[in-house]
Amino acid sequence: MNNLLVIYHEDFLCYEKLKRKIKNITINMDDFQITTTHDKRGILLRLSTEITFELNIVKEVNLNDISHSIIFNCFNEYDEMITEIKEKNIPIRIINLKLAKAINIKGTTFGKGSSETYEYIGRGSKWGNPYSMYENGDDRDEVIRKFKYDFDFDKFLNVKKEDFIHLKGKKLGCFCKPQACHGDVIADYLNSLDDGE
């Protein structure tokens, strides 16, 4: 039986892309199982309800047990694993992702401006959360909830939801991280979009 190693970046949310890539590779396989190190977003489990395969989540991958591999790579996170797979001559398909990720920019020389490294999404920017913590007695969770509601229903005055596509594949700079942030809402939306590739 073919044992397919599938690894995806934990911020990847596009179920349709994952499904399409796995179906294209397994179309001529009678039986196969999928091995992975995590399924944090539950998308492999969801796929197992549509396509019949056994899902094995392991702490460490034994490459000697792997027949094929698909790596959804971003931010060069899996480069070391890719090298090991290639050294073992295991057939590999690398899908390079353009994911958005909220990051902390405290201490950078750029401050409240964008740079080559990130797009500033904090207060005062086009992408900033119009709701301020503690202004109306709201805590962090409440201002993020309000932002998400306006974002989901396209209710912002100065920016349309479709404009956020500009941020796909970028690091979103703010001062909130590692705490919860409206940037997480933006990143989750962008990382769930299917680019059709």
Interval 28-51: pLDDT, tens:
998 999 999 999 999 999 999 999
Residues 89 and 157 placed together within one structural domain of the fold = no
Q: What is the percentage of the chain residues whose pLDDT exceeds 90?
A: 84
Q: Which of 72, 96, 120 is the last residue of a domain?
A: 96
Q: Report residue 39 as tokens.
A: 């399924």
Residue 85 inside a domain? The answer is yes
- What was the pLDDT predicted at 113? 64
- What was the pLDDT predicted at 124? 87
Residues 117 and 36 placed together within one structural domain of the fold = no
CATH number at residue 85: 3.40.50
Residues 63 and 80 placed together within one structural domain of the fold = yes
- What was the pLDDT predicted at 112? 62
Whether pLDDT at 134 is above 60:
yes
Q: Which residue has the tokens 């094995």?
A: 56
Residues 83 and 106 placed together within one structural domain of the fold = no
| 179-191 pLDDT, tens digit each | 999 999 999 999 9
Quote the number of domains for the chain: 2
Residues 51 and 124 placed together within one structural domain of the fold = no
Whether pLDDT at 119 is above 90:
yes
Mean residue pLDDT across the chain: 93
Give the range of the structural domain holding residue 36, as residue numbers without chain letter.
2-96
- What was the pLDDT predicted at 27? 93
- What was the pLDDT predicted at 84? 98
Q: How confident is the model at residue 106 (pLDDT cuts 50, 70, 90)?
A: confident
Q: How confident is the model at residue 109 (pLDDT cuts 50, 70, 90)?
A: low
Residues 134 and 163 placed together within one structural domain of the fold = yes
Contact between 117 and 170 under an 8 Å Cβ cutoff? The reply is no
Whether pLDDT at 80 is above 90:
yes
CA distance 149 to 129: 12
- What was the pLDDT predicted at 111? 57
Residues 88 and 134 placed together within one structural domain of the fold = no
- What was the pLDDT predicted at 73? 95
Residues 120 and 70 placed together within one structural domain of the fold = no
Residues 36 and 106 placed together within one structural domain of the fold = no
Contact between 14 and 192 under an 8 Å Cβ cutoff? The reply is yes
Question: What is the per-residue burial (b if ≥16 Cβ within 10 Å, else e) of 83-96?
Answer: eebeeeeeebeeee
CA distance 160 to 181: 19
Average pLDDT of the residues in 128-140: 90
Whether pLDDT at 53 is above 80:
yes
Q: How confident is the model at residue 137 (pLDDT cuts 50, 70, 90)?
A: confident
Q: Which of 96, 121, 149 is the last residue of a domain?
A: 96
Residue 197 inside a domain? The answer is no
Between 110 and 87, where is the model more confident?
A: 87
Residues 79 and 8 placed together within one structural domain of the fold = yes
- What was the pLDDT predicted at 72? 97
